[in-house]
Amino acid sequence: MPKILIVEDEEKLARFVELELKHEGYTVDKAFDGRDGLEKMETGGYDLVLLDIMLPGLNGLEVLRRARRTVDTPVIMLTARDSVMDKVTGLDMGAEDYMTKPFEIEELLARIRAALRKTERRAAESKQLACGLLAMDVDRHTVAYDGQAVELTQREFDLLRVLLENKGIVLSRSTLMERVWGYDYMGETNIVDVYVRYLRGKIDDAFGVKLVQTVRGVGYVIRE
């Protein structure tokens, strides 16, 4: 279940929200001032933060500004002031949404669900490629088989990426040549075979699978 941090100095309100969130099944932590909130936000690995603006220590906007240097956790600002400025500033600094106090708990819960859904969608859109237990994170430039890291050279990585992006589709040597090396080697496409062998050594042989397959007379395909 998602982990939510409540940064709110009105302890009664914080406890009430905590109770409601726990009732919904969320894991909840609380901070009663800005500094504690910032520290928890930076280190706690939260899925969402409810951040009050008027806080002792550091105010909520300052907490958000500093936290944004290191984490991109979605934040819903809580404000008692009906100040348009605070809301605009908060949203400009990357808050996902805001709630003006006093609020109906049902509305807060709905906003939380919406913010979490948005994060989920974004995560799904980030470049994750996979074939069976083989997974590539393009943004992080990592490859793993069943959670075990696979070390690839840049060229091997690029070749695997093209294969994974076309999972199940047979690609000719010259297509791979062009997409991975950026040009056609004119009859020298056996460099593709060499790199396919490298990949097989590090993936298929290493983990006892047959993902990178040869289609005789045509080319290569990655599939389960």
Nearest to 223 by CA among 162, 157, 168, 166: 168
Counting residues that bind Ca ion (by CB under 5 A) gives: 3
Footprint on residues 40-59 left by Ca ion (CB under 5 A): 52, 54
Distance CA 215, CA 219 (A): 5
- From first CA to last CA, the distance across the chain in angstroms is 31
Q: Does 9 bind Ca ion (CB under 5 A)?
A: yes
Distance CA 21, CA 16 (A): 9
Nearer to Ca ion, 31 or 131 (CB): 31
Report the Cα 43 to chain-centroid distance in Å: 16
Q: Nearest distance from residue 12's CB to Ca ion, in Å?
A: 11
Span from 1-9, 88-96, 138-146, 195-203 in contact with Ca ion (CB under 5 A): 1-9
Nearer to Ca ion, 34 or 219 (CB): 34
Orientation of helix 11-23 relative to helix 105-125, angle to 10°: 60
Q: Does 13 bind Ca ion (CB under 5 A)?
A: no
Q: Does 36 bind Ca ion (CB under 5 A)?
A: no
Query: In the complex, which residues of this chain contact Ca ion (CB under 5 A)?
Result: 9, 52, 54
